[in-house]
């Protein structure tokens, strides 16, 4: 990576050379750069110490306090601000800039290192898949909790292979894979903006802006297939744009790299593959729209500064790869992704209708932003401001691009459409069905915002005259270094606070004492003890039933096959109702061959933090009703259940199938055959 691009590699037209800076200005610029370098060397280590102290303080708390957030943000800003300044400085050399950007990406994993254990059900599911790949060489293991992970096995194969080759524990190997991918994701955005044609400082500014998207710092560091697939998408886009650049010869290395990546991507993650296909389609359409007017004037022999055929080749290769990997799975993939999207649009239409009708009562499926959030007030305010600040930056960038539209090719406009998707997804945040889908789209839509802003950053000095003519007072103020630094710091800080508030809830960001019914805080020593007991006394994939929060440990550490209740499979009635077990439910227990039940005695005394024990549509979800104590006591007296192990509030019951078949007991009074 160098700071100088030739005319073909950097199509931004610089028609006039910049005048040489006066000696005083040059000396001031040198002093400023030396200050940035010094801060980038001194503050990041201190910032890491502050982040560690913040996590250490949070680990002993049941509820977050202001001190942990103060330490956390003082540390994060002490690292990110000087590194961002060094990466975007015009005097920074190519190698230094690349290493600085890589350092930003690596520090993005720092919180993951401090909380180095699986967090949430998804990570435990992917860990289980990786365990089976490492232990048995299995490619896709059936998991009833999230069956789709069986079909997207790329992460599991990579993690297990790395663990075997490096002789590392599986979890360590998996986190290492995600660390490499996460670090390379920022470099991929930097390289993508370079390939679009922006000089190095502008590309670095775009890459830094990308790290402020709400998914990057917390969501995309999880041990999940998306954390591997998204960086692969970014590098594929960089290679695709590079392959189609207006250079003397086509870049066949970039074309080959893109084709290798697209061959593997459909086996890693579904949404990433679909988003890449859509973005490539936009790039092709943008190139056609730039080429067709030339054809209308000069005929089919009309030339175009950029090549179209590499993009078409990569798109077609990706479509073939999708057909190869998904040919027999289109139906279930649509059934997996479709309901959330359709439900989100349905709920959004109801919300709009309520607003039109002037009804103040919340519509069905409407969610309140930051409801019951443990975030400090400044994070919540920044969360509300986040889309508006990003919109202001985006509009400024598109305005600069429009005024300089003859200086670059068609690719930035395609990415502008991608960036607009971020703002189009905002209304979905108001729905329970579409909120998660909107959140998952930001890692892709923010690529467009990063590209547009990176290009505009490079073109802004040449558009300064327009501002000076129309708004002389503003132009005079902005030319002052202190004003520019202040605006940049405020914008960065608001976006950093807001992205954290919008990105993920507080328990996923910090360690802390165990909380009942909280995905990030419910993984307890008691649940692990039950899982280890089952791993020692029951064969793998033994059917068990437990609440959502114990299920994670049983699935991974215990290697069991937890069943997921539903309206059609309402086994949760045993825990939630003290009425005699219905014959249909008793038959389902027999047919599903459940061998063990795990009961948490706290069901009768407290409500889970997430509002449900098993699934989101269970009876009483989000309410205040507790499980009847009689329902939990029934596990001790049913003749076909026997308590075999206990750990704190958890009790493990084994099903005696012979007694179940003989008695068919639906209550503690033994039934007759």
For residue 256, CA distances in Å to 147, 311, 605 come to 33, 12, 60
One domain for residues 282 and 417? yes
Q: What residues have CB less than 8 Å from 6, skipping those under 6 apart?
A: none
Is the per-residue pLDDT at 444 higher than 60?
yes
Q: What residues have CB less than 8 Å from 490, skipping those under 6 apart?
A: none
DSSP β-ladder status, 596-600 and 641-647:
unpaired
One domain for residues 302 and 237? yes
Give bridge partners of residue 646 from the DSSP assignment. 651
One domain for residues 394 and 443? yes
Res 360: pLDDT: 62
Number of domains in the chain: 2
* Model pLDDT for residues 501-551, shown as the tens digit of each residue: 998 888 888 877 777 878 777 778 899 999 999 999 999 999 999 999 899
One domain for residues 547 and 485? no
**Residue-range definition of the domain harbouring residue 589:** 525-663
Contact assessment for residue 58 and residue 511, using Cβ atoms and an 8 Å cutoff? yes
Any domain includes 333 = no
Give the pLDDT band (50/70/90) at residue 583: very high
Return d(Cα 602, Cα 629) in angstroms, integer: 10
Return d(Cα 307, Cα 310) in angstroms, integer: 7
Res 24: pLDDT: 46
Give the pLDDT band (50/70/90) at residue 386: very high
Question: Picking from 27-41, 148-162, 213-227, 474-488, which range would have the lowest pLDDT averaged per residue?
Answer: 474-488
* Model pLDDT for residues 614-644, shown as the tens digit of each residue: 988 888 887 888 999 999 999 999 999 999 9
Any domain includes 13 = no
Any domain includes 340 = no
pTM of the predicted model over 0.85: yes
One domain for residues 499 and 641? no
One domain for residues 91 and 180? yes
Give the pLDDT band (50/70/90) at residue 461: low
Return d(Cα 201, Cα 476) in angstroms, integer: 23
Contact assessment for residue 222 and residue 443, using Cβ atoms and an 8 Å cutoff? no
- Averaging pLDDT over each range in 98-107, 367-376, 657-666, which range is the top one? 98-107
* Residue 543 three-state SS: strand
* Model pLDDT for residues 394-413, shown as the tens digit of each residue: 999 999 999 888 888 889 99
Two structure tokens written together for 367: 């969610």
- How would you class 29 by CB atoms within 10 Å of its CB: exposed for 0-12, middle for 13-18, buried for 19 or more? middle
| Mean pLDDT confidence for 369-389 | 91
One domain for residues 266 and 399? yes
Is the per-residue pLDDT at 291 higher than 80?
no
One domain for residues 618 and 501? no
Question: Picking from 302-311, 418-427, 469-478, 579-588, which range would have the lowest pLDDT averaged per residue?
Answer: 469-478
Any domain includes 17 = no
One domain for residues 76 and 159? yes
One domain for residues 493 and 537? no
Question: Picking from 63-67, 178-182, 345-349, 633-637, which range would have the lowest pLDDT averaged per residue?
Answer: 345-349
One domain for residues 560 and 478? no
**Strands of 650-655's sheet in order across:** 561-562, 543-545, 596-600, 650-655, 641-647
Q: Pick the closest to residue 207 from 113, 88, 325, 297 (CA basis).
A: 88
Res 254: pLDDT: 94
Is the per-residue pLDDT at 10 higher than 50?
no
Tell me 546's DSSP state: -
Q: How many CB atoms lie within 10 A of CB 364?
A: 11
Res 630: pLDDT: 93
| Mean pLDDT confidence for 386-390 | 96
Among the three residues 441, 474, 509, which one is the final residue of a domain in this structure? 509
Any domain includes 3 = no
Is the per-residue pLDDT at 226 higher than 50?
yes
One domain for residues 547 and 498? no
Q: For 68-83, what is the HEC assignment?
A: HHHHHHHHHHHHHHHH
Any domain includes 671 = no
Any domain includes 349 = no
Among the three residues 450, 481, 509, which one is the final residue of a domain in this structure? 509
Any domain includes 9 = no
Res 303: pLDDT: 55
Among the three residues 509, 541, 557, which one is the final residue of a domain in this structure? 509
For residue 625, give the CATH number of its domain: 3.40.50
């Amino acid at each position: 990576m160098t700071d100088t691009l030739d005319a073909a590699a950097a199509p931004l037209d610089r028609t006039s050379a910049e005048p040489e800076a006066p000696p005083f200005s040059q000396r001031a610029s040198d002093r400023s750069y030396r200050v940035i370098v010094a801060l980038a060397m001194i503050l990041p280590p201190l910032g890491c110490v502050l982040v560690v102290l913040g996590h250490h303080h949070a680990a002993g708390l049941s509820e977050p306090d202001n001190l942990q957030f103060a330490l956390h943000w003082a540390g994060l800003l002490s690292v990110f601000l000087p590194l961002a300044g060094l990466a975007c400085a015009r005097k920074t050399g190519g190698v230094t800039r690349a290493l600085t950007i890589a350092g930003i990406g690596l520090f993005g994993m720092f919180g993951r290192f401090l909380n180095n254990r699986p967090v949430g059900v998804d990570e435990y599911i992917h860990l289980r898949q990786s365990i089976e790949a490492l232990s048995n060489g299995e490619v896709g293991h059936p998991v009833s909790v999230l069956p789709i992970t069986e079909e997207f096995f790329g992460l599991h194969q990579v993690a297990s292979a790395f663990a075997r080759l490096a002789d590392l524990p599986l979890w360590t190997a998996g986190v290492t894979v995600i660390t490499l991918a996460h670090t390379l994701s920022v470099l991929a955005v930097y390289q993508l903006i370079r390939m679009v044609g922006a000089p190095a400082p502008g590309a670095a500014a775009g890459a830094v802006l990308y790290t402020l998207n709400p998914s990057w710092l917390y969501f995309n560091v999880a041990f999940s297939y998306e954390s591997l697939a998204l960086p692969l998408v970014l590098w594929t886009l960089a290679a695709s744009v590079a392959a189609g650049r207006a250079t003397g010869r086509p870049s066949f290395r970039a074309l080959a790299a893109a084709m290798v990546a697209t061959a593997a991507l459909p086996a890693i993650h579904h949404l990433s593959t679909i988003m890449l296909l859509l973005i490539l389609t936009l790039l092709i359409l943008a190139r056609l729209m730039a080429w067709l007017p030339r054809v209308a004037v000069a005929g089919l022999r009309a030339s175009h500064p950029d090549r179209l055929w590499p993009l078409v080749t990569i798109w077609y290769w990706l479509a073939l790869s999708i057909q190869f990997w998904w040919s027999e799975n289109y139906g279930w993939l649509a059934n997996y992704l479709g309901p959330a999207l359709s439900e989100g649009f349905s709920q959004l239409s109801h919300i709009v209708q309520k607003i039109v009708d002037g009804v103040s009562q919340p519509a069905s499926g409407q969610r309140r932003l930051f409801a019951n959030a443990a975030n400090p007030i400044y994070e919540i305010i920044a969360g509300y401001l986040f889309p508006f600040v990003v919109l202001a930056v985006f509009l400024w960038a598109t305005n600069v691009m429009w005024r300089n539209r003859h200086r670059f090719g068609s690719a930035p406009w395609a990415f502008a459409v991608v960036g607009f998707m971020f703002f189009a997804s905002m209304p979905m945040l108001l729905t329970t069905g579409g909120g998660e889908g909107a959140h998952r789209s930001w890692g892709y839509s923010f690529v467009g915002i990063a590209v547009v802003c990176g290009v505009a950053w490079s073109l802004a000095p040449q558009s300064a005259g327009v501002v000076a003519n129309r708004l002389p007072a503003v132009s005079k103020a902005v030319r002052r270094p202190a004003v520019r630094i202040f605006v940049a710091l405020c914008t960065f800080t608001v976006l950093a606070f807001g992205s954290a508030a919008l990105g993920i809830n507080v328990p996923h960001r910090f360690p802390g004492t165990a909380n009942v019914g909280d995905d990030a805080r419910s993984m307890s020593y008691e649940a692990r003890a039950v899982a280890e007991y089952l791993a020692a006394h029951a064969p793998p994939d033994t059917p068990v039933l437990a609440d959502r929060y114990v299920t994670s440990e049983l699935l991974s550490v215990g290697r069991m096959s937890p069943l997921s209740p539903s309206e059609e499979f309402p086994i949760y009635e045993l825990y939630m109702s003290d009425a005699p077990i219905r014959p249909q439910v008793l038959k389902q227990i027999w047919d599903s061959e459940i061998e063990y039940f795990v009961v948490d005695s706290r069901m009768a005394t407290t409500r889970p933090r997430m509002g449900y024990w098993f699934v989101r549509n269970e009876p009483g979800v989000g309410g205040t009703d507790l499980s009847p104590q009689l329902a939990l006591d029934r596990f001790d007296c049913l003749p076909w259940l026997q308590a075999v192990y206990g750990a704190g509030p958890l009790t493990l019951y084994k099903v005696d199938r012979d007694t179940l078949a003989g008695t068919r007991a639906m209550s503690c009074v033994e039934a007759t055959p």
